[in-house]
Structure 1
């Protein structure tokens, strides 16, 4: 089993991870996790834990994880937005076919304001991209 374990374990937290070195070479043949660093995904900072001096393999593993995590979070963002598009379509179908007058009254103003805000932002961003593309 020990041969199948990775050299590092990343305990994900809200804005990054705590990095552990996985140790299996001991008398009891137990898995031990040695905390070696904290990583912040938002700014890319790596802080060694206590007096730990990070080796090149440590830094390389952390950098690989950080790059993969940033890509994973970006993909999740796009997936969340595509789910929102699906949900908007389902909301339209609900409003058209099943919603009662009271239900529509409860949600209409909030939905209209949110959609107006979203539309304005999307139009402005698209215009910026088109102007930037024309300038290049």
Structure 2
């Protein structure tokens, strides 16, 4: 464990975080955490907690954290999709080599509908991107 704690702590919650200022400079040498703000990661909205007036430094640090968190969440989204592709490949292998007729009967319609829905969305989105590219030329 590091001897020096960060000045701010971000408690992750749905759509954002509660922001605390960490204080170890007290007589009891205890860690005190004072909640100073709530932040929404989706829209970047920062709300001071209670009567606390946010300083420019606090706003800057919170803004940097929001940008880093948004990048982390975006990377996780892509990773989740890549894992889904892996799982689809494993599902294909399972259906081809291990699945019984009863198991296939149970999952076939659901898989076909989900794949049809996904394909429709992907084809439409790709067409939109191609049309934007042609319009830009």
Measured against the shorter chain, the TM-score band is: over 0.9
The change in CA–CA distance for 1:28 and 1:69 in structure 2 (over 3 A counts) is same
Q: Displaced runs of 4+ in structure 1, greater than 6 A?
A: none
CA contact 1:2–1:24 (8 Å) conserved in 2: no
Cα 1:31–1:2, aligned 2, differ >3 Å: closer, same or farther?
farther
Deviation at 1:97, TM superposition (A): 0.1
Matches of 2:2 and 2:106 in 1, distance apart?
57
Deviation at 1:6, TM superposition (A): 0.5
1:26-66 alpha-carbon deviations (Å, 9 max, x no partner): 00011100000000111111000000000111101100000
Per the alignment, residue 55 of structure 2 pairs with 55
What is the aligned-residue RMSD (CA, Å)? 1.1
- SS of corresponding position for 2:33: strand
Cα deviation digits, residues 4-43 of structure 1 (max 9, x gap): 2110000000110000000011000111000000001111
The aligned counterpart of 2:131 is 131
Residues in 2 aligned to 1:126 and 1:36: alpha-carbon distance in whole angstroms: 44
Query: How many pairs were matched up?
Result: 136
Distance (whole Å) between structure 1 residues aligned to residue 20 and residue 11 of structure 2: 8
Unaligned runs of at least 5 residues, structure 2: none
With the length of structure 1 as denominator, give the TM-score of the two structures. 0.97
Residues 1:87 and 2:87 aligned together:
yes
Aligned mates of 1:5, 1:66 — CA distance in 2 = 20
Are 2:98 and 1:98 aligned? yes
Q: Partner of 1:24 in structure 2?
A: 24
